Amino acid sequence: MNAPLRRAGIVIMVLFGLLFANLNWVQAYKADEYRTSGFNSRVQVAEYDRQRGVIEAGGEALAESVATNDQLKYRRTYPLKQPYAHVIGYKPVNLGATGIERSENDFLSGESDKLFADRVKDMFTDDDTGGGNVLLTLNRRAQEVAYEQLTKNNGGVDRGAAIAIDPRTGAVQALVSMPSFDPNPLADHATKKAQAAYDELLKAENGPLKNRALSEVLPPGSTFKIVMAAAALENGITKETSIPAGSTYTAPTSGAPIRNAAPSICPESQVTLAEAVRESCNTGFARLGVELGADKLKATAAKFGFGQDAELTVGNLTGGGLPVAASETGAIQGPDGQDDPGALAQSSIGQREVRMTPLQGAMIAAAVANDGKQMQPYLVQRLLGPDRRQIDSASPKVLREPITPQVASDLRDMMKLVVENGTGRNAAINGFQVGGKTGTAQTGVTKNIGWFIGFAIDDKGQPVSAVCVVLEDYGDGGSAEAARIAGRIMRAAAGRGGD
């Protein structure tokens, strides 16, 4: 029996030899690849040896790293907490980062190729020069007014969003999602506490982690009539053309009758297009949509960005940014793909399957204000090295030209009527020409959603701000409150004080 025992010993020796050979493969040959692998969280810990750059707006630090005395040498802090949380995001130790913290991570951490010179210098001096600094486009006054007005809205609702952009450049002036959260606990170095804080936010009612301004799609209601009006103007109708209206309208084949928000709105059989926009005439736009047809409606909506922006990010114009949900018009067809006038009539007033992000709303208003040129929205204005030398500066880009300057001008006139003497009076600001459109959307599940999209033009004729405000689950008066908040934000963005 001893010969087989000896052979069993040889088998064990061979097996252990295989283990040893494989360990050499893993720990010697592949060691560098594994050490620096993107899946290796230890890489992240090494990041904390270098002071991460500052994210700032208007000369104020929104995210900065302060020295600690534990193993991770710097702790990320967010001094202004909630109002900026959805833009800045957070950079936890062992959770995924979000926001600008995620999209500008390479630059902030100092790993970016743009900071190559600093790394080379570090090799000679044996220093750990900090990462780069990111300057945002945010207007601090507008951002704080937006946060305060939204969270203290008169209806006391908990969910909503506001976004303001400069129509001339696409620079985001304010971006707020409600409810918000304090990102500081997520960056706690005690990872259990950070995880607990994150789990709590995940479970929290109303999803505070969600960036509603960019990634929530809701039925736009009557704000969508601006897209409809643009389609009409492109198809030979002028703002003075009379269109059929009436107190109710039932589409030829099917569907429930469409009514106006109040009996006093366009009961007459004909109103002008401008009048239909001013008083938000549902029957007029439903008939208009059925007359134009689904294809023209979808074509115009696509030019404004509906169904186009699944790849769009808001951040750096030459790199990544915060993800954006795609706005959609839906198929506007019957179940078998045939034309469906009932669906078309409802889609024409921003119901049915039409869905829009607050960003899309602001971009519609911005294109109207900017003579038909829709600029690509962005948040990163400048990148500065650790020594604050300028490394990169945003150069605004035209994203699309959805409408001609003439159509834009007509739309501006009609939208100004809405604020001067229509449903959007609350948005008016002294010394500015303000235009806009309200919207009240039914979800069928919660109370009505209040919308306002609009723009402000200063006394030199420059469009200074375009804005979209949405208040979810508000019920009656939501769009009027949204208009009031939008006015405050635009006034702050134009540099005329917040309140």
Catalytic residues: 222
The DSSP secondary structure of 134-146, one letter per residue, reads EEE---HHHHHHH
- Between the two ends of the chain, the Cα-to-Cα distance in Å is 97
Judged by CB under 8 A, the residue of 67, 123, 152, 192 near other proteins is 192
Least distance in Å: CB of 44 to other proteins?
9
- For 83, other C-beta atoms within 10 Å of its C-beta total 23
Judged by CB under 8 A, the residue of 73, 114, 189, 447 near other proteins is 189
Residues 57-76 contacting other proteins, CB under 8 A: 70-71
Stretch that binds other proteins, among 9-17, 81-89, 367-375, 487-495 (CB under 8 A): 9-17
Check residue 37 for interaction with other proteins (CB under 8 A).
Answer: yes
**Which CB, 31 or 120, lies closer to other proteins?**
31
| Count of residues that bind other proteins according to CB under 8 A | 42
Judged by CB under 8 A, the residue of 117, 120, 190, 204 near other proteins is 190
- Which amino acid, one-letter code, is at 76? R
**Which CB, 13 or 204, lies closer to other proteins?**
13
CA distances from 413 to 110, 200, 226, 463, 484 (A): 49, 48, 12, 14, 20
Check residue 3 for interaction with other proteins (CB under 8 A).
Answer: yes
**Which CB, 93 or 486, lies closer to other proteins?**
93
Least distance in Å: CB of 387 to other proteins?
32
Beta carbons of 184 and 96 less than 8 angstroms apart: no
Beta carbons of 469 and 357 less than 8 angstroms apart: no
Rounded Cα distance between 233 and 287, Å, is: 15
**Which CB, 192 or 389, lies closer to other proteins?**
192
Check residue 13 for interaction with other proteins (CB under 8 A).
Answer: yes
Check residue 34 for interaction with other proteins (CB under 8 A).
Answer: yes
CA distances from 328 to 219, 224, 297, 368 (A): 9, 11, 12, 20
**Which CB, 37 or 446, lies closer to other proteins?**
37
Stretch that binds other proteins, among 16-24, 237-245, 256-264, 375-383 (CB under 8 A): 16-24
Check residue 40 for interaction with other proteins (CB under 8 A).
Answer: yes
Q: Is the peptide bond before 335 cis (omega within 30 degrees of 0)?
A: no
Check residue 16 for interaction with other proteins (CB under 8 A).
Answer: yes
Residue 233 belongs to what H/E stretch? helix 225-234
Least distance in Å: CB of 472 to other proteins?
32
Identify the three-state secondary structure at position 167.
Answer: coil
Rounded Cα distance between 341 and 358, Å, is: 27
